[in-house]
Amino acid sequence: MRIGLDIGSTTIKSVVVDDNKTVIFRSYERHFSQITQKTAELLQTIGDIIPTHHSTEITISGSAGMGLAESCGIPFVQEVYATRIAANRLAPGTDVVIELGGEDAKILFLSGGMEVRMNGSCAGGTGAFIDQMATLLNVPLEEMDDLAKQHEKLYTIASRCGVFAKSDIQPLLNQGAKKSDIAASIFGAVVNQTIAGLAQGRPIIGKILYLGGPLTFLSQLRKSFDETLHTTGVCPEDSLYYVALGAAYASDTTVDLEKAIEKLNNYHASEHYATITPLFENKEEYERFAQRHAKHNVPQIDPAGYEGKAYLGLDAGSTTVKAVILGKEGQLLASSYQPNNGNPVPIIRAFLLDFYEKYPQIQLAGATVTGYGEEIVKNAFRADSGVVETVAHFTAAKSFMPDVEFIIDIGGQDIKCFKIRNGVIDNIFLNEACSSGCGSFLQTFANALGYSIEEFAKLGLFADHPVDLGSRCTVFMNSSVKQAQKDGASIENISAGLSISVVKNALYKVIRAASADELGKHIVVQGGTFLNDAVLRAFEQELKTDAVRPGIAGLMGAYGAALYAKKHSKGCSTILNKQELLDFTHEVSNVNCGLCSNNCQLTINRFDGGRRYISGNRCERPITKKATDNSLNIYDYKLKLLKEFTPGEAKRGIIGIPMELNMYELLPFWHTFFTTLGFKVITSPDSSRELYLNGQSTIPSDTVCFPAKLMHGHVQQLIDDGITTIFYPCLTYNIDEGLGDNHYNCPVVAYYPEVITSNMPAVKKLTFIKDYVGIHRPKDFPGKMQKILAQYFDGISLKEVEAASKSAYKAYGDYFKCVRAQGARIIAQAEKENRPIIVLAGRPYHVDPEINHGIDRLIAGFGVAIVSEDCVSYEVKKFTTTVLNQWTYHSRLYAAAKYIANKPNMNLVQLVSFGCGVDAITTDEVREILEQEGRIYTQIKIDEITNLGAVKIRLRSLFAATQEQ
């Protein structure tokens, strides 16, 4: 008898195969990190069914099986080889195996020599990821597949890890999106993560085998793979057991089954994990800590004995709904803190109906909403006003500490930190794309280990050796926690370690604080996560300071909103009364908006009385039916200017130019150059999600910036459109603007044509011109360019190239003259109308709406004027910086910051693409230039997926601070 065990990150699979290669036993179960115990029990079960006179061969495989096999003297085979053995035996001719496990993802290319692509320590896009998403949707895992079958539309959702995805899904839930659409979108995200993150440019073609639990149990996930890969993969019988079968087939060593079970039962892991200082040395120290924080509370009275006016504050957060009702003197009458279950509307309706029923003698004189779901709740219940989260939390914090200098709020998925200077919010830190280190971070682990969050938090208070888990995100941490368990760490020490990790993530990844002095001496902590004494203690220990935690730390957003409602009350509230709530209805529908080229996917929420709330729109047009006024938006002007470069006649042929990266600035140059030479110049179409996905399979790096990833789609689209000659040159240098120590392009912009050539097989079948060109040397350019063109075309003379070059440089100069002139007009008009001006700084490709996600229009919606960094940088002469100023785009950024430093009506918002190479040094230099004169600087990170809700919070906070000053 041959026994194969596949001990994975979350499950144990086993098979028993007899001499005839017949499977006589199989099992599949979760081990809940009790690997040794479960393995021993499983072998005992197998031993009971195998006749005693049979010899037994055992082999272990799987990501969690190696250490166990070594300790117990059982042979081990690597899971990739086990999979190949099983595939070759059971599914001969297989070209590609796609296997998704609990925390593992693999693509095995079997034809043309075996090659393996595996995920690292991140479990994004695996079974653990899907588990987290099912929890977020509040549905059993098995229902996700049924939900996905009913979907009508797909949303763009990140899947690199669960916390990125939550940041995309939660706003959709709050806006009323259907769970069926979100479920299907989650499966699509897993597919995109697998293809882009693992295949990394190698085509997935031929006979494809689907293995692993998620692909076995979820038919809609398989369907999503099929649709994306344009194929029909096969999920074979025993797909769950291929690794175990491969291990069994590889067995060749007889093992005494009883002795193996005995070794497993006697196996004990030694405690050799890294530890850190305990949170509390003893209970007396904890009592002193608790007494100190018990002093900060809000007076509370029984609402049954109160009559008159009251003020309602609602905080529709990412994972919870909070409500606070205050009396005339600011006393707390009622409060509520509940999970939102993906839709805050019915929870708030139930709270208000209950309040009206119990306390008819109290009249609401004001109602204010804040949080993720602010707009939908305000529209649904006819609240008087909405207030941005940062202002609500600052208002609440000031009531406890009038001289507060720093506020940190850790909620379910948000970390919000505010630096206060001169009584106003001076700087804002938000976790714009990742919710690691938030309340849901601890909630996920507590649930996985079988505890409520309250029980789990208390376990860590008196842990003797907290595990040092660092400050990594949730799915990275899964593996660390499991390893700590294997190494003998107790639940108590894991709980304490996770609480400390929450604090480290907030301090070193969001705030990036160097010391407590940097934050100030007067600190208020708030948010539901800080109700966890272990998190609060870790925060104070890490910064070596005492903080103030209000007794209503989890309600501070709602409390601040109630204070705002009280301050701005007009005597009575427009909030729905009891009868209106009883008659309340809420319907959700989805449509595509066709009012402009964005074609936004809209979610329309309709309420009784004809009220409605529309979400998913990048501009205000679906709401107002009017086009957004972009007359003072330089980004809109640039796009229109570039559209004027239309194809000419094809006297010499057709040349395609992929419209991405630096081509957003160099199109006037190259279009004029080739048109003058007699070529018809065709540019790739506008960027879109579909265009990105069309080139996704050839992207070799998951960490390169999104604009570079988009280039694959642009090149592929030109090929699909029948273009046989594509021009995309390497440019080490940009044209010298005299602003820096040198004028390099960044390596990605400079040399990405090499990446395209190496990873897109289709370009080898056409004329792809990627030569190294030096447009920064106008005198040398014509001669060198003529030699380059001679390699591809006959009969182009040096005289023709010289004439074309002269026209190209003029067109390039004229383009910037137009941009700068328009920028000057925008600034003059804004100053005349007393409008604030935002310098929306970035790189040429940030003009692309698919890259900037309509952030320029979002800013324009605040009634401000928008110019780009190149509209003002030319006004500045070269100046000394504290960094090596050698990159053209960085030099413009520094110059723009210098220009606006003494302009009271200007502030700077910088767009940064993940992976673009802008590091802390660049950020610090810009901030230092601006803050010398009190200008506001905010940086927005954007990627394929960007949570515009978080971006809007940051922008609204920025403008609120500016207006208050």
Alpha-carbon span 238 to 244, nearest angstrom: 10
β-pairing, 865-867 with 837-841?
A: parallel
Tell me if 284 is assigned to some domain: no
Q: Are 558 and 370 within 8 A, CB to CB?
A: yes
Query: 736 and 825: one domain?
Result: yes
Residue 475 has pLDDT above 60, yes or no: no
Task: Give per-residue pLDDT as tens, 232-263.
Answer: 999 998 999 999 999 999 988 888 888 888 88
Alpha-carbon span 542 to 279, nearest angstrom: 10
Task: Give per-residue pLDDT as tens, 386-437.
Answer: 998 888 999 999 999 999 999 998 876 667 788 887 777 777 776 654 555 6
Task: Give per-residue pLDDT as tens, 337-376.
Answer: 998 776 889 999 999 999 999 999 999 999 999 987 888 8
Beta bridge pairs of residue 287: none
Query: 542 and 682: one domain?
Result: no
304 SS3 class = helix
Which residue shows structure tokens 């609402």?
A: 303
Task: Give per-residue pLDDT as tens, 775-828.
Answer: 999 999 999 999 999 999 999 999 999 999 999 999 999 999 999 999 999 999
Alpha-carbon span 104 to 7, nearest angstrom: 12
Query: 200 and 254: one domain?
Result: no
Start-to-end CA distance of the chain, whole Å, equals 79
Give the list of residues 6+ apart from residue 646 with CB closer than 8 angstroms, or none.
none
Query: 783 and 652: one domain?
Result: yes
| Angle, helices 219-229/179-194, rounded to nearest 10 degrees | 60
354 SS3 class = helix
Over range 688-703, report the average pLDDT: 87
Query: 848 and 747: one domain?
Result: yes
Tell me if 153 is assigned to some domain: yes
Domain total in the chain:
6
Question: Which range is least confidently modeled, 14-28, 147-161, 423-437, 519-533?
Answer: 423-437
Tell me if 938 is assigned to some domain: yes
Query: 774 and 911: one domain?
Result: yes
Tell me if 80 is assigned to some domain: yes
Residue 161 has pLDDT above 70, yes or no: no
Over range 737-766, report the average pLDDT: 93
Alpha-carbon span 731 to 661, nearest angstrom: 12
Task: Give per-residue pLDDT as tens, 55-100.
Answer: 888 999 987 788 788 877 889 999 899 999 999 999 999 999 999 9
Query: 53 and 163: one domain?
Result: no
Tell me if 785 is assigned to some domain: yes
315 SS3 class = strand
Tell me if 290 is assigned to some domain: no
Residue 661: closest CA among 751, 777, 763, 761 = 751
Alpha-carbon span 275 to 940, nearest angstrom: 36
| Predicted model pTM | 0.76
Average pLDDT, the chain: 86
Query: 752 and 854: one domain?
Result: yes
Alpha-carbon span 900 to 917, nearest angstrom: 24
| Angle, helices 439-448/474-486, rounded to nearest 10 degrees | 40
Alpha-carbon span 634 to 870, nearest angstrom: 10
Alpha-carbon span 540 to 516, nearest angstrom: 10
Query: 596 and 649: one domain?
Result: no
Q: Residues 245-256, buried b or exposed e (16+ Cβ, 10 A)? A: bbbbbbbeeebe
Tell me if 650 is assigned to some domain: yes
Residue 729: closest CA among 685, 682, 689, 669 = 669
Query: 578 and 681: one domain?
Result: no
Query: 738 and 887: one domain?
Result: yes
Strand segments, DSSP code E, in 815-943 are 837-841, 865-867, 906-913, 937-942
Tell me if 440 is assigned to some domain: no
Task: Give per-residue pLDDT as tens, 167-196.
Answer: 678 777 766 788 999 999 999 989 988 887
Task: Give per-residue pLDDT as tens, 815-870.
Answer: 999 999 999 999 999 999 999 899 999 999 999 999 998 889 888 888 899 999 99
Q: What is the CA radius of gyration of the chain?
A: 31
The per-residue pLDDT for 667 is 97
Task: Give per-residue pLDDT as tens, 567-597.
Answer: 999 999 999 999 999 999 988 887 877 777 6
Q: How far out from the chain centre does Cα 533 lie?
A: 28
Q: What is the CATH number of the domain that holds 476?
A: 3.30.420.40
Over range 710-714, report the average pLDDT: 96
The Cβ-side half-sphere exposure at 218, using a 13 Å CA radius, reads 34
Look up the domain containing 567 and give its range: 303-400+561-582
Question: Which range is least confidently modeled, 397-401, 513-517, 601-605?
Answer: 513-517
Query: 70 and 178: one domain?
Result: no
Residue 600 has pLDDT above 80, yes or no: no
